[in-house]
Every structure is written in C-alpha cells, then in structure tokens.
Structure 1
C-alpha cells in the first residue's frame, strides 16, 4: 500500500508560484540601476537621507552585501530596492545585489513590515553592556565628528559609520558606564552624560573627569565656579521641562560651563547664545 501523500491545494499553489520566480546575484552598475528605476512606478515616497546614507557607504567602500533582495513584479515593476538603486546611481559605484523577479504585485504589501534591527539590537547581540545607551552615544559622536553639533538635518549615520566610530573610540564603553552610573546625580540622562564624558575627556582626561565628578557631587565649589552655575542651570531647566533637558540644550550648557572652567573664568550664570543654538553658535569644547 502506497504511503505517498497527495499534495494539498495550498502546496500545489506554492509550487506553481515558485515556478515563476527567479533569483540572480548581480553586480549592479549605475547604468543598470538607472534603467531599472524606470520601472519604479509603484513605490513609497523616496527618503532622501536614506539614499545619501547608502551612497556614502558605497563611496567609502563600506557597503556590505547582506543578502537583502531587490524585488521586481512579473511585469517588471520595481517592488523593493529603490533607495539602494538610487544610491548606486548617486555614488556612481557598483554594488553586489540579489535580484528576485516574477513576484506578484500583492507581495509588496508584506515588504518592510517587520521590526527593523537597530544598532542597539546589534550591540546587544554582540554582548555590549548598556547597549541602548552606548548606541545613542555612538550615534551622537558620529554626528559630532561629521560636523553636526545640534540637529542632524538630513544626515543619517549608517551602520558601517556607527561601527567605525566605536572602533575608533573604544573608550566610549567607559563613557557609557560613567553616564549609566552617574546620570541621576548630574541631572542628565545617561546618554547625555556619557557623551559629554567622551567629549570632554578627549580634550583633557583629568580635567574632564574632575569637572564631571563635581557636576555630580557639587563638592568644594565656591561661588562663581562654572560647575556650580551649571548645576543650578540644569536644576532650573529640569524644573521648566518636567524633569528632562533636550539633548542639544544639555550639551550646549555643559560645554559652555566647561569652556569657562578651562579658561579659569568665574561664571554666575550659564547662558545659551543669543538668538538660540545653530551650527554657527553651538559651543565647541576647548
């Protein structure tokens, strides 16, 4: 007696669907990408910063092939991959991509609907301590090194850029631990304190550590000391903002007080630049 099972209707349908789908690993040139984008008639709005991010990775030769596919419907409509193809065109650099063709148009409904893997998730899988805080510090440092002190505008750090920052500045792990341990005493959130710890100790490790230790404990600060003025300004800002400072304001206040301390000036009040913070007025630690 035969024990072979008759395929169910759903299995027969899956087999039929698979028969019309092809996949191919291709080095996609800018010319090919430009031609394929002509079929980009049924897609979400373009995200300019994402295109720029991918293009920077291609130009820096840090683009990694991860098996993600560029998808086409059976009629040639581009279903997924527009930002990668646009980046290839913009960077004028080729990239290795896995191309899938022959999908039904309905497949687009299920593309990119899952939870994206964040940098903090990757750090957690790598066994890093306090991964969400470390991730935030690395991201802020990457922006800082790229010249973005306050708002990042259209600049979106890529995964390779974040990884390169952590590789270049491994001491960020110690800064993360410092921020995690001392944030409440400083009146800042852990990522803010960790970032300024990294920033100031780069200028002068002993001075930076002393300055931030006094921000946390307030020990032996005489009237007119910049750290004392900073502690008071942070307290008032927290009262006005229901307990938490905006990161740009927190960083600008700490750096302003630090610069006064480094130049051995007294300071009764820590004030932000007149007219507000901008790329031109944001303070730089000295």
Structure 2
C-alpha cells in the first residue's frame, strides 16, 4: 500500500529547513542546525573552553569594543552567526563570545551547529561593513570622512588625547554623531580646507575645527579659511607659521607625521592666535603633553 506523505509547509514556523535535505538524513552525519538563543557568560565560556586548540589569537581591541556595546545594552541581533563544528569547536564568533564573558551580559545570537571542520576555511572571507558604510546607508554626506573624524573625536572625549587607543564601535560612532551633530559642519569646513591645503588629513582638520568651535564657532571657521588660503596675513601670524611647518614636514619626507603631531601644531597655532601671540616657528615633541584648545 502506498501512503502519500505531505511535503514541508514553508510557512510552518517550526520547520527545520535541514530536515528534508540529504544532510538531514539520520543515516548520515548530523545536519547543520540554526537556532536563535540568549547566550550568557557561562555558556560563552563553556564554548570557548571546548576544544579550540588551534585558533588565531584574539584581538584585544575587538573584544573590548564588543564588550562595551554589550555592557551598554547596544548589542543587537543582526544575522551574524556563532558557528560550531560537529566536534564543538567554535569556527566563528570567538571574539563575540569572549566579549559576552567579559561584559557579564546576556545577548541574543544566531547559532549554527554541526558544521564540517572545513567550513572554517571560508569564514570571514567577506568584507565587513564599516562605520562609514553605515553612515552612508543613513544618508550622511561624506560618510567615510565623517566616520574617520568621529573616531578621532571619540578617542579625544574618552581621554585618549594622542588618538592612538582603541577605536569606537559603529554603535558608538552613531551615538557620538547624535550627541555631536555639529560635526557635520566641521566635516564640510575641513573638506573645503583640505581641498585648498592638503597637508593635514581632513579628519584631523575636522576634529580641530570641532574642538575650536567649542571656544568660538566664528573664529574656528575663520581659522580654517586662513589655513586654506594663507593670504592677507601679516608676518608672524600663527597660521603662516602653521602652514610653513606643515609644508616643511612634508618636503622633508615627514609627510607621514602622526595625527597627534598635526593636531598638536594646529592647536598651538589656534591658541597663539587667540591671544594675539606672534609665531615664526611651530613644533611639537613626540611624547610631550598635548595642548588643549583655549
């Protein structure tokens, strides 16, 4: 006797998409399984401790950034998966799991289990979406420049005045823009200045402009206009000293001077101009205290 067996209902919310595939044949190896669950520190630590003998080192900056987002409640389920092989090794997601353990938070994840060991060879081969990409999706103008400037501003505001520490996450970049919307105006001022005088990076110019506007918005705009043109300024004007210093550094093969150095000489020129102090030379010794805008 023949019995008709109904096929799978694609709208069944309890459908296991692998149950009707060859991989789902009970006589074969376990089928990959996808599920969504809440993962806390204990489970994350357990998965990390299981096997995982041969793995690339964890990147501390990545773990720290993820942990900050998780602890702040900004982590969202976005479709990225934690991948486990048939032996229980973590093929993808170790940084996220380490961040869960560090943050002491429980976060939602999509888990893929029972993958073959060979799956790791193709993991992380795609291109990760940057903060600039996300800002572009939000319709921001000059999104990658805006993202670069916001990363510098974030470091400055957390006390990293040398701009060399951990980078913010995309969530932190978006939150900072919401809190500092005038950075958009600084981006435009920096873009125009850089087009005329391309020696400091536009992102550094944007950070400087933003910091200067906190002291005097009109004076900050005039300062960047003077940096761009260099015309109509008397001998000894701080902006002329700034322009000569930046051009000389590039001509001497020091065009790769750090962002710290460039920001420092920008601030020193700004501070001198604020008090009417004439300048003929500008310098900043690496490792010395970063000046603050006045």
Q: TM-score category by the smaller chain? A: 0.7 to 0.9
Question: Aligned residues, how many?
Answer: 269
Name the counterpart of 2:253.
Answer: 241
Is 2:25 aligned against 1:15? no
Matched, 1:26 2:40: no
CA RMSD after TM alignment: 2.0
Q: Which residue of 2 aligns with 1:73?
A: 85
How far residue 38 of structure 1 moved from its aligned partner, in angstroms, is 1.1
Q: 1:16 deviation in Å?
A: 2.4
* Alpha-carbon distance in structure 2 between the residues aligned to 1:191 and 1:139: 9
**Residue matched to 1:268:** 280
| TM-score, normalised by the number of residues in structure 1 | 0.87
Alignment pair present for 1:142 and 2:154: yes
171-180 or 108-117, which deviates more: 171-180
Deviates more, 1:130-139 or 1:220-229: 220-229
Separation (CA, whole Å) in 2 of partners of 1:264 and 1:233:
19
For 1:26, what is the secondary structure of its paired residue? strand
Match of 1:199 in 2: 211
CA contact (8 A) 2:152 2:163 kept: no
Match of 1:168 in 2: 179
Distance 1:151 1:137, change over 3 A: closer
Contact 1:189 1:244 in 2 (8 A): no
Alpha-carbon separation, structure 2, partners of 1:183 and 1:75:
54
Change (3 A) 1:271 1:117: same
Q: Deviation string for 1:245-285 (max 9, x for gaps)?
A: 54222111101111122233222211213xx235xx11221
Q: Distance in 2 between matches of 1:72 and 1:189?
A: 43
- Give 2:226's aligned residue: 214
Structure with bigger helix share is 1
CA distance in 1, matches of 2:133, 2:32: 32
